[in-house]
Structure 1
Amino acid sequence: MYIGIRVDASYEIGSGHVMRCVTLAKAFMLKGAKVLFICRNLQGNMNFYIREQGLEVLELPQASLQIYNNIDVNDSGIHCEILSTTQEQDALQTCEIILNNISQVPIDLMIVDHYGLDGIWQKKIRCIAKKVMVIDDLANRKHNCNFLLDQNYYVDIHKRYVGLVDKDSFLMLGPQYALLREEFFEQRNAVSIDDIENKRILVFFGSSDPTNETYKVLSSIQSMNLNDLAIDVIVGKININKNDIKTMADSMRNVNYYCQISNMNEVLSNADVAVCASGSFTWERYCLGIPGIIISVADNQKQLARDLTTLEIDTYLGHSNEVTTHLITVAIEEIISNPTSILKARNKAYSIVDGNGVNRVIDVILRKL
C-alpha cells in the first residue's frame, strides 16, 4: 500500500498540520504501508522534522515571483497565498513529482491537509491516486474526497460539511478521531487525574507563534507574584522570536525554557493548567486532563475556542489582538485560586479524548480501501 501526504508548514501556516500528518504516517507504516510526504519548500517549513522522523519528503519548488504576485482569493473563498502558487499549478507539480519518484502509480491513497487546497486540487490529483482523504476543520469550501477527517469539537459538527462533500464520502468527525502521538496514549495511563497541586503552568503557542503570544504571557507572569509556581515555556525551532523569549525566561525565577522538545507528553503531564492557543494542542491537553487559558491566534481558531467554552474546561480570553497582559494576569490569578474548578475541568477534559483516535482513523481507512 502506497500513501502520499500533501501538507505544508511555514511561519504563517504553523506546524500543526505536519505534526498530525506525521502521527498518521507512522501509524500507517506500522500497518506495512509506504508513506511519502510532498511538501513545498516554504520559509519556516518542517521538512527537516519530517525527515528526522524517518519519513521521506519530496519537496515542491518555491513559486516564481510572477505566480506569487498574481495569487488572489479563488472562487471558492480559500486563500491560495498560503499555498504560494495556484491550486492547478500545485496539483500539476504534485502529480509530476510522484510520477518521477514512484513506480507504483496510481498510489492507493492521497491525504491532503491544507487550507489552500479544495475540490479543484483533489479532482486533479485523482489521476495518480485511487482515493483521496481530506483533513480539514474550516468547513468553508467544497471537497472531492472519499474520506474527510475533522478532529475538532464544534457544537454543529454534524452539519458543517453538508453540501461540501459527496454523500458517499465517509466523515470522521470529533475529538474521538484526534491524531495524537502514541506517547500521549501511554502517558495518559500514568496521569493521576485527581492530583492537583496548583504548582505548575505550561505556556505553549505552537512551533511558530506568529503573533508572539508567548512573550506576552511571560510579560504578564513577570508582573505577578508567582514565586511558588513553576512555569514551563515551550517554543518551536521555527519561532522567529525564540531568542527574545529565552532571554526573558532566563531573567525570571522558576521559569524553564524549552525549544523543540521531543517529550511534550511528559512536560505537559506535569502541568496543572496551560496558557496556550486554541489549536490542535487542545486534544493533547485533554488526553492528559489539562485545562487551559486559551487565546485564538488565527481566524480559524475562533469558532473552536468559542465552542470549547461550552464544555466548561477552558477559559477563552479572545483573539490575540484583543488580549492584553492584564486579561492574562486576571485569568491566571482566578484559575490558580480555585483548585476545585481545575479538578472538575481536568476530569471533563480527560473523558473527551482517550488518545486512541489515530487507530480509529486507520481502521476506517483500511476497511474501505
Structure 2
Amino acid sequence: MKIFLLTEAGKNIGSGHITRCIALSQAFIEKGLYPYFVINGDNSVKDLFKDKKYIIFNWLEERKRLFNLIKTSDIVIIDSYLADNTLYKGISENAKLCVYIDDNKRIDYPKGILVNGGIYSLKLKYPKKRNLIYLLGFQYTILRKEFWYVGKKKVKKNIKDVMITFGGADTKNITTKVLRLLTNEFPNFNKKVVIGKWFRNFNLIKKQKDERTEFIEWADANKMKELMMKSDIVVSAGGQALFEFAQVGLPVIIIAANDKNQLKNINEWKKTGFIEYAGLWKDKNLENSLLNKINFVNNYNTRLQMSYNGKRILKKNGSLNVVSKILQELTNKE
C-alpha cells in the first residue's frame, strides 16, 4: 500500500505539522504500513527522518512533480497551512483517498476525509458535503506514540521545576521574556528551557541564564515526556503540545503566540480547568500577568486539580482511531 504524508517545516514555520505527521505515521506503522513523507522545507529537517522514507522539495510549487509522485498512491495525507484549494483539488484527483489535517476550517476541502481533533473542532460548523467525511473531536486527537500511554504523575507540594517550551522556532522571542521573569522573581526554581531546532534568538535567551537554568536543545518525544513528568508546571504556547501536557497531567500557563488561530482554542481550554492563560505575546502587561499566574498555580490544591482535569480529557487513542477510519474508508472505496 502506498501512503504519502505531505507537510511543511522550517525556520519560519516551526515543527508542529511535522510532529503531527510523525505521530500519524507511528499509528500506521502499528498496522504494518510505512508512509512516505513529502516535505516542503530545507535540509535542516533531515535529521528528523533518519529512520523514515522521505523526500524534500517544494511540493507547493512543483506540482507536476508532486502529481507524478502520488499518481499511483492509495492514501495521501496533507497537513499544511500553505497549500491552496486548487492544489488540494489536484491532489484529490490523483489519489484513491485524500485525508486533510485541519485546525480552523482553513479552506473549502474537496472529497476525502477531514481530521480535526482540536478542542474547538466541534464548534467550527463545517459544511455538510456528500463526499467529505469528518473525524472531529477528542477521539481523533493525534498524539505521538510516546504519549499514548502515560503513567501517574506525582504532584509535588511546592513548585521546584518549571519547563519552558515554545515550539520549534519561537519567532516571537517569548522564551527570553519568560526566562528573564523566572530568573528575577523565582531564583529558587529549576528552569528547564527547551530550545527548538529553528530558534534564532538563542544568544538572547542565554543572557537570562542563572545557575538553576538548563537548556535542552531540540528534545525528541522521549526527552519531552521525561521533562514533563519531572516538571511541576510548564509555560508554553497554546499549540498541539497542549494535548501532550494534558495526557501527562502537567499544569500549563499559556502565552499565545498567534492571536488569529489560538485564541478560540485557548478559550475552550480554559473551560476544562486545565490551563491558565497569561495573555498574548505582545501584551504590554504580559510579564506581570505571568507573575500572577505563577503565584496562583503555586498552590498545591490548584495544581492537583489542574493535573486531574488534564488527565481526563483524552480517553481514547486518537492516532489509532484516525488510521482505522482511513483504512476502513479505503476498503469501502475498493
TM-score higher than 0.5 here? Answer: yes
Question: Within 2, Cα distance between the matches of 1:180 and 1:110?
Answer: 19
Amino acid at match of 1:41: G
Amino acid at match of 1:160: L
Question: What are the Cα deviations for residues 336-361 of structure 1, in whole angstroms up to 9, with x where unaligned?
Answer: 1x111111111010000247221111
- Structure 1 position 363, deviation (Å): 1.4
Aligned to 2:47: 49
- Structure 1 position 193, deviation (Å): 5.1
- Structure 1 position 196, deviation (Å): 4.7
Question: Within 2, Cα distance between the matches of 1:145 and 1:291?
Answer: 39
Question: What are the Cα deviations for residues 45-73 of structure 1, in whole angstroms up to 9, with x where unaligned?
Answer: 75313322x11222224xxxxxxxxxxxx
Unpaired segments of 5 or more residues in structure 1?
62-82, 100-104
Amino acid at match of 1:254: R
1:241 aligns with 2:164: no
- Structure 1 position 108, deviation (Å): 0.6
Q: Map of 1:188-203 to 2, 5 A cutoff? A: 188-189=150-151, 191-192=152-153, 196-203=157-164
Amino acid at match of 1:158: L
- Structure 1 position 167, deviation (Å): 3.5
Aligned to 2:39: 39
TM-score, normalised with respect to structure 2: 0.90
- Asked if the contact 1:234/1:259 (under 8 Å) is kept, the reply is yes
- Asked if the contact 1:91/1:125 (under 8 Å) is kept, the reply is no
Aligned to 1:184: 147
- Asked if the contact 1:106/1:127 (under 8 Å) is kept, the reply is no
Question: What are the Cα deviations for residues 233-257 of structure 1, in whole angstroms up to 9, with x where unaligned?
Answer: 11112111123323433xx132221
Sort the Cα spacing of 1:284 and 1:196 in 2 relative to 1 into closer, same or farther, 3 A.
farther
Question: Within 2, Cα distance between the matches of 1:276 and 1:120?
Answer: 35
Question: Within 2, Cα distance between the matches of 1:353 and 1:235?
Answer: 27
Question: Within 2, Cα distance between the matches of 1:195 and 1:208?
Answer: 31
TM-score, normalised with respect to structure 1: 0.82
2:110 to 144, 151, 155: 144
2:276 to 315, 321, 325: 315
- Asked if the contact 1:50/1:56 (under 8 Å) is kept, the reply is no
- Structure 1 position 197, deviation (Å): 4.2
1:121 aligns with 2:81: no
What's the secondary structure of 1:321's corresponding residue? coil
Question: Within 2, Cα distance between the matches of 1:94 and 1:196?
Answer: 54
How many residues matched?
326
Sort the Cα spacing of 1:319 and 1:225 in 2 relative to 1 into closer, same or farther, 3 A.
closer
Question: Within 1, Cα distance between the matches of 2:157 and 2:207?
Answer: 30
- Structure 1 position 121, deviation (Å): 1.5
What's the secondary structure of 1:285's corresponding residue? helix
Q: Map of 1:329-368 to 2, 5 A cutoff? A: 329-336=291-298, 338-354=299-315, 356-368=317-329
Question: Within 1, Cα distance between the matches of 2:325 and 2:227?
Answer: 32
Report percent identity of matched pairs.
25
Aligned to 2:56: 59
- Cα-Cα RMSD: 2.1
What's the secondary structure of 1:343's corresponding residue? helix
- Structure 1 position 221, deviation (Å): 0.9
- Structure 1 position 305, deviation (Å): 1.2
Question: Within 1, Cα distance between the matches of 2:44 and 2:7?
Answer: 10
What's the secondary structure of 1:34's corresponding residue? coil
Aligned to 2:126: 162
- Structure 1 position 161, deviation (Å): 4.3
Unpaired segments of 5 or more residues in structure 2?
none
Question: What are the Cα deviations for residues 156-213 of structure 1, in whole angstroms up to 9, with x where unaligned?
Answer: x3341422x6244222222332222222234x12x23555542221110011111011
- Asked if the contact 2:153/2:248 (under 8 Å) is kept, the reply is no
What's the secondary structure of 1:300's corresponding residue? coil
Aligned to 1:74: none
- Asked if the contact 1:313/1:349 (under 8 Å) is kept, the reply is yes
What's the secondary structure of 1:295's corresponding residue? strand
Question: Within 2, Cα distance between the matches of 1:92 and 1:142?
Answer: 22
Aligned to 1:109: 75
Sort the Cα spacing of 1:344 and 1:199 in 2 relative to 1 into closer, same or farther, 3 A.
same
Sort the Cα spacing of 1:321 and 1:215 in 2 relative to 1 into closer, same or farther, 3 A.
same
